[in-house]
Every structure is written in structure tokens, then in C-alpha cells.
Chains A and B, each alone.
Chain A
Amino acid sequence: KAGVTQTPRYLIKTRGQQVTLSCSPISGHRSVSWYQQTPGQGLQFLFEYFSETQRNKGNFPGRFSGRQFSNSRSEMNVSTLELGDSALYLCASSEGLARLSYEQYFGPGTRLTVT
């Protein structure tokens, strides 16, 4: 099976702009989780989608949003970008909800730089 794919791999944006990141899960996986990874804060959970519904949300401002489509592909949107949003954004897919300890398979990440 093909692994989790994320597009784009690299992105440079300016403060105040908005950005959309895409994640295609492994075929058959219904859960997609998003994480932000920074040198200062490490890995932090953003949200999890399952069957097109947000099932869980981390402690991030409302500027961070996401959605999941019927084919389980997911997008993450960040509006009004701030310098602090510069990070590696990781997507992970699993057969079931992460809470049920299904193994998560990670994508390569999207490196977002905000200038």
C-alpha cells in the first residue's frame, strides 16, 4: 500500500496570509490526525478527523481548522498566519480512532515557513 502523502512538502508564506495543507491517508484508513512540530514545543496534537467529522481538537486557536472528505483525504487550513506558525506539520492516518490505540502512520510532513 502507498504510504501517507502530504502536499506540498515545502511552503513559504507571508504573515497575514492563509494556507491549506493536504493529506492523503493510506487506503482504507478512516482516521487522519494532524500535528505541529516545532523545535521549541515539540510535537503537538492539532486535531483528528474520522468519517468526515472532527473527533478531537488540541489546544490551538481557531485560526487552525481542518476538514475531511468522503475519501478520507484531509486538509488543514491556517488563516492569518503568524511567524510562530512556522513549523513542520505532520499528518498521520490510522484504521480507527487514535484513542483506541490504532497504530498511526505518519506522512513526511509539510514544512511551512512564515516570513
Chain B
Amino acid sequence: AQRVTQPEKLLSVFKGAPVELKCNYSYSGSPELFWYVQYSRQRLQLLLRHISRESIKGFTADLNKGETSFHLKKPFAQEEDSAMYYCALVDSNYQLIWGAGTKLIIKP
């Protein structure tokens, strides 16, 4: 079955430290993957998608087909990065499948 796994429900790091939010997927074929973010009291919004190979707010995510991973990384965490992060995959039925989400807390 196609699935997105975010193994960490909660991740807490200090400001200035590197951040890595893990996302693993199961999908046969070339996946379309996304990271969405929800800041406190704000709506869910797209952070980045792998096809764009972009860096948004200092975050990057590289697709690793061998490890079936799409981890989200940022070299130096900032307090405003505290939020809920969701990894999502477009499955073979063209539906978005979501991970359970990781709550990121940046400690001052």
C-alpha cells in the first residue's frame, strides 16, 4: 500500500541548530512529494515540492529514491520555524496521501 511515514510526532531543537524532519514513503514509480506547514493559528500551506527543487525559508528536501525518503532539512533553525509539518505524496490514484505530521519546536 502507498504510504507516507513521519516517524517523529515531536521534534525539539535549539535555535541555531540543524533541523531534519524525516519522511519516508512507499510507492512504486516516480513519486510526487510535498512538504506542507501549518504555523500556529494559521492555515495549512505548501512549503515546498520536490519537482521544484527549491529552497523555501531556508528549508530544502531531497528525494532519495534508494532510501524512499524525502527528509526536510534546514541548517540553522529559527524560532519562527516552530510549526506542524506534513509530508504528502500523490499516489497512483492521483490522491494526496498525508503523513501524520511532525510538530517542530524551536527552543530559544
Chain A residues packing against B (C-beta within 8 Å): 3-4, 33, 35, 42-45, 48, 56, 58, 90, 92, 97-99, 101, 103-108
Residues of the A chain whose Cβ atoms lie less than 8 Å from the Cβ of B51: 101
Tell me the minimal C-beta distance from B70 to chain A in angstroms: 14
Residue of A nearest to B38 (CB): A106
> Which of B14-22, B40-48, B61-69, B72-80 lies at the interface with chain A?
B40-48
| Complex Cα gap A91–B19 (Å) | 30
Q: How large is the interface on B (under 10, 10 to 19, 20 to 34, 35 or more residues)?
A: 10 to 19
Q: How far is the CB of A24 from chain B (nearest CB, A)?
A: 14
B46 x A104 contact (CB < 8 A): yes
| Chain B positions near chain A (C-beta within 8 angstroms) | 32, 43-46, 49, 51, 86, 88, 90, 93-101
| A-B contacts besides A44-B98, A98-B94, 12 pairs, CB < 8 Å | A33-B96, A42-B99, A42-B101, A43-B88, A43-B101, A56-B93, A92-B44, A99-B90, A103-B46, A103-B49, A105-B43, A105-B45
Tell me which residues across on chain B come within 8 A of A3, comparing CB atoms: 43
Distance (Å) between the CB of B50 and the closest chain A CB?
Answer: 10
A27 CA to B94 CA in the complex, in Å? Answer: 24
